[in-house]
Amino acid sequence: MSESVNKAMPSASIKKRQRVNVGIRSVLLHVAVIAVLIALYFVLPEYHSGNLARILVLAIFAMGYNVLFGYTGLLSLGHALFFASGMYGFGLAIQFLDVTASVAIVTGLLSAVAVSTIIGFLALRTTGVAFMIVTLMFAQAGYLTILLFGDYTRGDEGFVIQRADRILFGFDLTQPANRFFCALILFAICLFFVAWLVHSRFGKTLVGIRENEERAEMLGYDIQRHKLIAVIISGTLSGAAGAAYALLFGYAGASFAAVQYSILPLLYVLLGGAGTTIGPLIGTLFMFYLIDYTSEFSSRYLPSDFSSAYMLIAGVALIVLTLYAPQGFAGLLRRKVKWLP
> Can you give the pLDDT at residue 310?
66
pLDDT at 340 over 90: no
Cβ neighbour number for residue 238 with a 10 Å cutoff: 33
> Can you give the pLDDT at residue 10?
54
CATH of the domain at 140: 1.10.3470
> Can you give the pLDDT at residue 307?
59
- Cβ(203)–Cβ(197) under 8 Å? yes
pLDDT at 107 over 80: yes
> Can you give the pLDDT at residue 305?
60
Residue 170 forms part of a structural domain: yes
Residue 239 forms part of a structural domain: yes
Cβ neighbour number for residue 37 with a 10 Å cutoff: 19
Q: How confident is the model at residue 304 (pLDDT cuts 50, 70, 90)?
A: low
Domain count of the chain?
1
Mean pLDDT of 159-176: 91
How far is 86 from 80, CA to CA, in rounded Å? Answer: 10
> Can you give the pLDDT at residue 250?
92
- H or E stretch at 159: strand 159-160
Portion of the chain with pLDDT greater than 90, in percent? 63
Least confident of 79-83, 220-224, 329-333: 329-333
Least confident of 238-242, 304-308, 318-322: 304-308
Cβ neighbour number for residue 149 with a 10 Å cutoff: 13
pLDDT at 9 over 50: no
Least confident of 39-43, 129-133, 272-276, 309-313: 309-313
3-state secondary structure of 125: coil
How far is 153 from 123, CA to CA, in rounded Å? Answer: 26
Q: How confident is the model at residue 210 (pLDDT cuts 50, 70, 90)?
A: very high
pLDDT at 132 over 90: yes
Which are the contacts of 335, defined by CB distance < 8 A and separation ≥ 6? none
pLDDT in tens, 243-284: 999 999 999 999 999 988 899 999 999 999 999 999 999 999
Mean pLDDT of 130-154: 93
- Cβ(64)–Cβ(236) under 8 Å? yes
Residue 61 forms part of a structural domain: yes
Residue (of 81, 83, 77) closest to 132 by Cα position: 77
Higher pLDDT, 340 or 231: 231
Residue 182 forms part of a structural domain: yes
pLDDT at 198 over 60: yes
Mean pLDDT score across all residues of the chain:
88
pLDDT at 42 over 70: yes
Q: How confident is the model at residue 2 (pLDDT cuts 50, 70, 90)?
A: very low
Mean pLDDT of 125-145: 93
Which pTM does this prediction carry?
A: 0.91
Higher pLDDT, 31 or 336: 31
Q: What is the 3-state secondary structure (H, E, C) of 297-327?
A: HHHHHCCHHHCCCHHHHHHHHHHHHHHHCCC
- Cβ(259)–Cβ(80) under 8 Å? yes
What are the C-alpha distances in Å from 53 to residues 47, 49, 168, 175?
11, 8, 16, 11
Residue 341 forms part of a structural domain: no
Q: How confident is the model at residue 175 (pLDDT cuts 50, 70, 90)?
A: very high
Residue (of 110, 113, 80) closest to 97 by Cα position: 110
pLDDT at 206 over 90: yes
DSSP assignment, residue 93?
H
For residue 171, the cross-strand partners are 168
Q: What is the 3-state secondary structure (H, E, C) of 174-226?
A: CCHHHHHHHHHHHHHHHHHHHHHHHHCHHHHHHHHHHHCHHHHHHCCCCHHHH
Mean pLDDT of 61-69: 96
Residue 241 forms part of a structural domain: yes
How far is 269 from 242, CA to CA, in rounded Å? Answer: 17
How far is 252 from 153, CA to CA, in rounded Å? Answer: 8
- H or E stretch at 167: strand 167-168
Portion of the chain with pLDDT greater than 70, in percent? 90
Structural domain span for residue 38:
2-336
Question: What are φ and ψ of residue 168, in 5° steps?
Answer: -120, 115
> Can you give the pLDDT at residue 19?
63
Residue 115 forms part of a structural domain: yes
